[in-house]
Structure 1
Amino acid sequence: MKMSKKKLLTAIGPLVVAVLVVAGILIFPSRSLDKPSSKTIHNAASSMSVNILKGNLVKNTAVKSGEYLPFFGSSELSRVDTFHPSVLAEKYNRPYEPFLLGSPGTQSLTHVLMLNSMKDELKGKKVVFVVSPQWFVKDGVSQQMFSFFYSPLQTYQWISELEKPDENDRYLAKRLLQFENVASDTRLKNMLQKIRDNEELSRSEKRAAAVKYQLLNNEDRLFSQFVFKTRADKITEKTAGLPNTYNVEQLEALATKTGQKSTSNNEFDIKNSFYSKRIAPMKDSLRNSQKKFNYVESPEFADFQLFLSILAKNDIDAMFVIPPVNKLWSDYTGLSEEMLNTFSKKINEQIKSQGFTNVADFTFDRSKAFFMQDTIHIGWVGWVDFDKELQKFLANEKRPTIELQSDKYLSKDWMNAYGKKKKE
């Protein structure tokens, strides 16, 4: 029996109207969507949510306000303890709140697109970048991890704003084309190939990129203000364990005491819960398991150079933090101390030779008691030392003089420099 037109309209009418309403909002969004509330921004600052990282509105509004300090990094930022930067900033009423830009699995290339998307809001300001040695493996960031955090919005924004591509832009296009989820967008793929090959985009391509960016931007304005998780309450809770007045000596003593209490069930100074869940069940199989690990030869060095180039072009001052690896643990797994020292030498050369002067390299604090919370993540004493360097950086008003050497640091020779065949 055929359904009458009236019944059909009654059945599907509401759905059609809903689709048209959503489409209308995406094409002509309300201006009210441009103003995330202060509560939304505060909750987003510690959320490390994927929609916040891949979007623009919330994080860019936060940075533009001057009340938030961007912290780029990965899994170390998610481990909130009493001495975490967000806890210290709240407890001692500092003039900034950390905005945590990263998550377990984010690496330089994700941060490049994020930084570029907020470059206008960051001009003349400061950021913190935690550079994990573990990113610098043979193949760099994996297809899976890059895909998970990949932002079409930020990619189309970069293309839409691109005027005359330089070597950094060409390399970024080449790098993006290596990822399946990027290359699957045929129109984007064609534009990236032209940028890579130093060919000018056609007028229609530029218009298409601008339209796509605007649609994605409207979508971000509509959906990015939903913060599905936040660490804000946990951060506030942790402030109760700190002295009421900021005192470095007291904090160091408390951090040491906390570390002692928290690592009582193992010989590696690893947090008890982490050891019990992640190490103990497979401890024997992990002995000497990292002998062949190498963080010296990697495309990650070139990806990192792209981040440096955006800083330089937009007068953004950065403090780079290089965490150590827990020595008690690396001795057990056979992770080469010489290799870690070489990584430190190489990354410092890349940063400092171009004029970036603010580097807090903790590589050689690997033996310091309770510096690390587990195998590779900064912990109690480490966060206190981190904070001391951070306060120096924020107080220093001198701007570095940058001279980019992207021709060198984007090259395969540099990616493989200090490796076994080219070891000095």
Structure 2
Amino acid sequence: MDNVKKGMAFLLAAVLALGCIWVSSKALDARIFRLKDNLIYNTGLEKYNCPDAFDDILNESSVLLLGSSELSLGEENTHPQIVFNNGNGDFQTVVMGAPNNQSLSHAIHLGALAGKCESNKVVLILSPQWFTAEGVSSGAFSSRFYPQMFDGFMKNKKISDRTKKKIVKRCKTLLEKDPKQKKRVELYEKIYLTGDIDPLDYLYLNLTEQFLNLQSKYNVVKTQRNPKLSRESWYNPRALALPTAAERVKTSEIDFQALLESAEEEGKQSCTNNPFYISDTFFSKMSKVRDAGIRTSNRNLTSSDSPEYGDLELFLQVCRETGIEVMLVSVPVNGYWYDYTGSSKTDREAYYQNIRNIAEQNGVRLVDYSDREYEPYFLRDIMHLGWKGWAYLDEQIYQFYQAD
């Protein structure tokens, strides 16, 4: 009898807790809706762990843009946040990506967000630096493992159990040194794949997820009010100070050729203190350039056996199963710098060819910039898209969006 009473008390408490969470969640939804224009180009980790933050920004006039550190607004005025008027235009690229995001984490993110992508189009910017012999490191993956996104991925009924099992297996391997997150993955595996979870554990996990969902929404609102509170101090003063023009931009009227010409001039003014076409700001920070050891630092840039290729295949499998059309972007390295630091041109070309092969075998669109390793001002440093790189890609993304 006592056990029955305890069970009833627990259920009553659970119902009351869920009621409070529901009311609070709806209030936060309203606040997030009012912030939606600010969230389009926000690169804060709070946004990335809150699938609901994407509800009102992934509309039929937008494309989800996945990548890593290049997505944060830099010094170039050709970044999509500026070109597409910081949210006040008839087309937008909704960004998701930070340092350490790679193919596997984006496969999970896409699985969670696919149902919100009304245009059914996604762009993934690939970095050669991902495709090392080790692939994504355990620490890097753990730092970009967002529980709410993984929950959404596992709930997506369009994704086959076979694909989920592959991704779960890979996650458990990479989370060996993060037992808390690994346990979470194993619980989801029991709920959605094996079905052997205890009912009370299921109820507890459901309550926990409801609370985490509420917390993720609160964190989005909190860091929009005070960006300096963002995790990892993900604070970009230039992005925050960027004004939005009063007049709504029509993307069809953007002169992309003029944008490219202005990018050339901007790049020239920004690269004056080195022969590598690296921005002065970045080059000044590269004190290690004076170390003789730098001349051999990039000898093993990529590997033909990298686990990252398998992770990319998993990402493309998620695209197929969710009906998402994807455009891959192959970004080159800075040829001048990588030659200087010992990187093999043969190995680099092998990597670029591997990406071409994967795109062809999967029947997906590829924007291949591998022939621009030596184009001045294409990159802003040794690996990130710069003035001309963004100018080219802005137009390519818009053309991809318009294509049937």
TM-score between both structures, scaled by the size of structure 2: 0.81
Task: Give, in whole Å, the separation in 2 of the partners of 1:165 and 1:311.
Answer: 12
The residue identity in structure 2 corresponding to 1:220 is S
Contact 2:331 2:369 in 1 (8 A): yes
The answer for the alignment partner of 2:397 in structure 1 is 390
**Structure 2 counterpart of 1:71, from 65, 69, 72:** 65
Contact 1:169 1:195 in 2 (8 A): no
- The 1:373/1:283 distance shift into structure 2, 3 A limit, reads farther
The residue identity in structure 2 corresponding to 1:334 is G
Task: Give, in whole Å, the separation in 2 of the partners of 1:106 and 1:139.
Answer: 15
Deviates more, 1:156-165 or 1:366-375: 156-165
Give the 5 Å matches for 1:200-239.
Answer: 200-202=195-197, 204=199, 207=203, 209-226=205-222, 227=224, 228=227, 229=235, 232-236=239-243
Task: Give, in whole Å, the separation in 1 of the partners of 2:265 and 2:87.
Answer: 21
Contact 2:110 2:153 in 1 (8 A): no
The answer for the alignment partner of 2:133 in structure 1 is 138
1:186-226 deviation line (CA, Å, top 9, x unaligned): 75354466699x74444736555544433322222333222
Contact 1:26 1:219 in 2 (8 A): no
The answer for the alignment partner of 1:294 in structure 2 is 302
The residue identity in structure 2 corresponding to 1:384 is A
Q: Supply the RMSD in Å over aligned alpha carbons.
A: 3.2
Task: Give, in whole Å, the separation in 2 of the partners of 1:93 and 1:264.
Answer: 34
Deviates more, 1:33-42 or 1:70-79: 33-42
The residue identity in structure 1 corresponding to 2:399 is K
TM-score between both structures, scaled by the size of structure 1: 0.77
| Number of residue equivalences | 370
1:69-99 deviation line (CA, Å, top 9, x unaligned): 3210011111432111121111896412222
Mapped pair 1:368 → 2:364: no
The answer for the alignment partner of 1:10 in structure 2 is none
Which structure has more relative contact order (CA 8 Å, sep 6+)? It is 2
The answer for the alignment partner of 2:5 in structure 1 is none
Task: Give, in whole Å, the separation in 2 of the partners of 1:285 and 1:201.
Answer: 54
Task: Give, in whole Å, the separation in 1 of the partners of 2:183 and 2:388.
Answer: 50
**Structure 2 counterpart of 1:188, from 174, 177, 184:** 184
- The 1:223/1:391 distance shift into structure 2, 3 A limit, reads closer
1:124-169 deviation line (CA, Å, top 9, x unaligned): 5212210111111122222222222211222233344569953211
SS at match of 1:62: coil
**Structure 2 counterpart of 1:95, from 74, 90, 97:** 90
- The 1:94/1:123 distance shift into structure 2, 3 A limit, reads closer
Task: Give, in whole Å, the separation in 1 of the partners of 2:324 and 2:23.
Answer: 33
1:363-410 deviation line (CA, Å, top 9, x unaligned): 11111121111101111111121123223212211xxxxxxxxxxxxx
The residue identity in structure 2 corresponding to 1:362 is Y
The answer for the alignment partner of 1:332 in structure 2 is 340
Task: Give, in whole Å, the separation in 2 of the partners of 1:42 and 1:364.
Answer: 36
Task: Give, in whole Å, the separation in 1 of the partners of 2:112 and 2:296.
Answer: 42
Stretches of structure 1 that go unaligned for 5 or more consecutive residues are: 1-20, 398-424
**Structure 1 counterpart of 2:107, from 104, 109, 112:** 112
Question: Shift of residue 27 of structure 1?
Answer: 6.5
Task: Give, in whole Å, the separation in 2 of the partners of 1:394 and 1:157.
Answer: 25
If you compute each CA radius of gyration, which structure gives the higher value, 1 or 2? Answer: 1
- The 1:33/1:374 distance shift into structure 2, 3 A limit, reads same
SS at match of 1:118: helix
Aligned-residue identity in percent: 24
Give the 5 Å matches for 1:6-405.
Answer: 25-26=20-21, 29-38=24-33, 40-63=35-58, 65-80=59-74, 81-90=76-85, 94-122=89-117, 124-161=119-156, 165-178=160-173, 179-180=175-176, 183-184=179-180, 188=184, 190-191=186-187, 199-202=194-197, 204=199, 207=203, 209-226=205-222, 227=224, 228=227, 229=235, 232-236=239-243, 246-279=254-287, 282-356=290-364, 358-397=365-404
Stretches of structure 2 that go unaligned for 5 or more consecutive residues are: 1-15, 228-234
Deviates more, 1:113-122 or 1:91-100: 91-100
Contact 2:332 2:383 in 1 (8 A): yes
1:228-275 deviation line (CA, Å, top 9, x unaligned): 246544544899xxxx97323322222112111111100101000100
Task: Give, in whole Å, the separation in 1 of the partners of 2:110 and 2:294.
Answer: 37
Task: Give, in whole Å, the separation in 2 of the partners of 1:367 and 1:30.
Answer: 51
Contact 2:38 2:87 in 1 (8 A): no
- The 1:209/1:181 distance shift into structure 2, 3 A limit, reads farther
SS at match of 1:370: coil
Contact 2:135 2:307 in 1 (8 A): yes
- The 1:360/1:314 distance shift into structure 2, 3 A limit, reads same
Deviates more, 1:278-287 or 1:111-120: 278-287
